[in-house]
Amino acid sequence: MDIRVVDVRKDFDRYPALRGVSLDIRSGELIALLGPSGSGKTTLLRLIAGLEHPTSGMVFFGDEDASQKSVQERNVGFVFQSYALFKHLTVADNIAFGLKVRPRDKRPPGAAIRKRASELLDLVQLSGLEKRFPAQLSGGQRQRVALARALAIEPRVLLLDEPFGALDAKVRRELRQWLRELHDKTGHTTVFVTHDQEEALELADRVVVMSQGLIEQVGTPDEIYDSPNSPFVFSFIGEASELPVSVAGGQILFEGHPVGLSPARAGDGAARLFLRPNSVDLAGDRPDALRGTVASVRRSGGWRRINLLVGEAKHLVEIEVPADACHDLPDKIAFLPRYWQLFPAS
């Protein structure tokens, strides 16, 4: 089922947590809401769940206006960062909880509930642990139980708010992979909140980048990484360095000198050149290269990360070069970005 968020604003008192957000979520897709803390991700997720109501704007589930529907009527499965399992219930009872508390006329018979719980345990690869209590599980296992519990009610959409945020990096990476496989098996429309770029880019079909209550960009991981549409997205999605340049007659100029890069779109005037440290070529003695003085070097695996002070104004630019590319590092390095983007200067 498609979900459509149409021009939603959400004010808390006078504070605008969402400032006009529109988003189409396609049936069966895994979409990540990605942004720094405070950008409005949780608020958007809670609005989709029905835990909050918009100050203005609409939320559609399929063709129905869901804006006035309750959480139960929307039939969503929710998993939070903190393990919200019932401590005094076994794993099996936790999973079955959502079915057991249904009104009598909508409740499956006991045997059917037990069967469903056991299927879900299988699905989240925890068979054999049904009699354990949450305290007897690892953090990663608890979150898998929370997911099974959310799936038990056969939700129309699965909403996950930083579900792996409290786990250590290694477990998080494993669960990321696991969630992707689970999603491909069950095909639930899934909205996943994270502030972790890597997690969003690796996991999602599409990524929604948010900042300050607005959507900055929506796209596939490749689109977001390869064609960020703003300085914010460029810098948030990966490492970035910036140089102030100007464009004149189809030529990029840095401090008045032509740079050997061809801007895709002409448009004369001041501009901001963004580049990624890991996408830079050394330029030998090319006259149209950028040049910097080495300020510091650190070794990282087979690479060297070099901080350069570039130009008269000593702009700090970080570049990465293979450790064996320059055994005796010169004081001055000429380079050209391989991947770069130009943005208008404000």
Chain contacts with ligand ADP (rule: CB under 6 A): 12, 15, 17, 35, 37-43
Contact 268, 257 (CB under 8 A): no
51 CB-near residues (< 8 Å, 6+ apart): 71
Return the exposure string of 292-326: e unless at least 16 CB atoms fall within 10 Å of the residue's CB, then b.
Answer: beeeeeeeeeebbbbbbbbbeeebebbbbbeeeee
Nearer to ligand ADP, 95 or 201 (CB): 201
- Nearest CB to ligand ADP, comparing residues 41 and 116: 41
Smallest gap from Cβ 56 to ligand ADP, in A, equals 16
Q: How many residues bind Mg ion (CB under 5 A)?
A: 1
Percent helix, strand and coil across the chain, each rounded to 5? 30, 35, 35
Q: Which does 158 bind (CB under 5 to 8 A by kind): ligand ADP, Mg ion, none?
A: none
Taking the complex as a whole, how short is the minimal distance between the CB of residue 44 and ligand ADP, in angstroms?
7
Q: Is 42 in the site for Mg ion (CB under 5 A)?
A: yes
The nearer residue to ligand ADP, 195 or 276, going by C-beta atoms, is: 195
Residue with tokens 């002070």: 309
34 vs 252, which CB is nearer to Mg ion?
34
The residue sitting closest to Mg ion, measured at its beta carbon, is 42
Q: Which is nearer to ligand ADP, 43 or 90 (CB)?
A: 43
How many Cα atoms sit within 13 Å of 273 on the Cβ side? Answer: 28
C-beta of 132: minimal distance to ligand ADP in Å? 31
If contact means CB under 5 to 8 A according to the sort of partner, which of ligand ADP, Mg ion, none does residue 14 touch?
none
Q: How far apart are CA 304 and CA 27, in angstroms?
A: 45
